[in-house]
Amino acid sequence: MTKTDPESSGSDDKKNLKDLTRAELRAFVADELGEPAFRGDQLFRWIWARGARSFEEMTDLGRALRARLAGVAVIPTGAVKKRTPASDGTVKVLTELAGGASVETVWIPDWGPGHAGTIPEPDTPPEPGARAQVPRPSRITLCLSTQYGCAWGCRFCYTATMGLGRDLRAWEIADQVLVATREAPDALPTPVDPGSKPGDKGGDKVALNLVYMGMGEPLANLEATIRSIQILTDEQGLAIPPRRITVSTVGLVPAIERLIDETGVRLAVSLHATTDAQRDEIMPVNRKWKLGELLDAVRALPMGKRDHVTFEYILLAGVNDTPEDARRLVRLTHGLRAKVNLIPFNPHPGAPYARPSDEAVSAFKEALRDKGVHTYVRRARGDDVLAACGQLAGEGKVQRRPV
């Protein structure tokens, strides 16, 4: 098996520099190597802005320092096991991690209005023998995983059937951005432009959004989630603005405030039901934190003028898609600056639910919109290769069962 994380595998005592924030890297080079702290900034830029995978590449560090670093430190990266492209241009990347864990990351291009399910045709057919013109997405969304498996047991979710394998470390979360970007279709422009400096407008770059909506519950792995955000938003690294990062939770009430306070990211809450009885049934987490508590926690968040919270609401035919549900959802979100994302159920092997008809989805959406609730239907992306919401499951089952 490939060892990709010497620290957690315990096979090696070299320092994993990828798991450090820039401040920690500065401290490491100063305290452990007796080098000026700015060398830590240089290392951080090589790792995160330029995607360096070895110390040899870091040509401005000096040969002797590079050799010393190679003796005491490592910069691991996930080993890509499988890359599965879907018909709509979405790419699912399976990465193998230490200890037999594996996670999936989904690279989702946005082709702009009018292109629902397929990669658009080029405007002009290519000359015979020439390389086909490649369409350019208007933005790219990366869906990151935070745990190998998940412990929360939501009844409609494929990841839940695995149980929890283990938490990902911060570097394993953040590294998914580098890995997925490398694994994206060659022909498409990469959102991370290695030559650019922080803050560059870079006319050619495609906007990158991150959603912590892959495998796992980010708030159940809070320290690593926060640390990964600190790494990814650092202006000397990938410099992803916190406003372009959305973290989704099943509703771990005590962790919500801290996440938002410490990172400034956007929050998404997987609501999925409008009564406690219903939610207890489909989301066991509700037995611990009730709908009322969850909404109080959301209401208590400091919200700027341009902020909003997203409520995800899965539509399960005959379970939570009635007109009464729509009315209750309007009441629950009343007074909140909220956006509702309806997610028609994405089927997966063995799931006991069905997706409502398009008409039923539309009717539910209109019922909310009529009452002034900002409501959108999330299109399934990559569902032909099980890359859509709730369809990620890495390499099958882990040992422990869900709660």
Binding site for ligand SAH (CB under 6 A): 154, 156-157, 213, 217, 248-250, 270, 272, 312, 314, 343, 345-346, 348, 389-390
DSSP state of 356: P
Yes or no: say if 25 and 43 are a contact pair by the CB < 8 Å rule: yes
Q: How far apart are CA 387 and CA 402, in angstroms?
A: 21
Q: Of 149 and 390, which has the nearer Cβ to ligand SAH?
A: 390
CB of 155 to ligand SAH, least distance (A): 9
> Please, which residue, 26 or 355, has the CB nearer to ligand SAH?
355
DSSP letters for 116-183? SSSPPPPSSPPPTTSPPPPP--SEEEEE---EEE-SS--TT-TGGGG-EEEEPPHHHHHHHHHHHHHH
Query: Shortest approach of ligand SAH to residue 2 CB, angstroms?
Result: 27
Q: Is the dihedral of CA 213, 214, 220, 221 positive or negative?
A: negative
Nearest-angstrom CA–CA distance, 189 and 191: 6
CB of 8 to ligand SAH, least distance (A): 22
For residue 171, give the nearest of 235, 109, 103, 118 by alpha carbon.
Answer: 103
Residue in the block written with tokens 């009452």: 371
Please, which residue, 191 or 356, has the CB nearer to ligand SAH?
Answer: 356
Of the two residues 82 and 379, which places its CB atom closer to ligand SAH in the complex? 379
Q: Name which of 174, 128, 154, 82 is nearest 386 in CA terms.
A: 82
- Closest contact distance (angstroms) between CB of 175 and ligand SAH is 18
As measured in angstroms, the least distance from the Cβ of 269 to ligand SAH is 7
Please give the positions annotated as active site. Answer: 104, 389
Nearer to ligand SAH, 205 or 308 (CB): 308
User: Distance between CA 262 and CA 278 in Å, rounded?
Assistant: 32
Residue type, 384: D
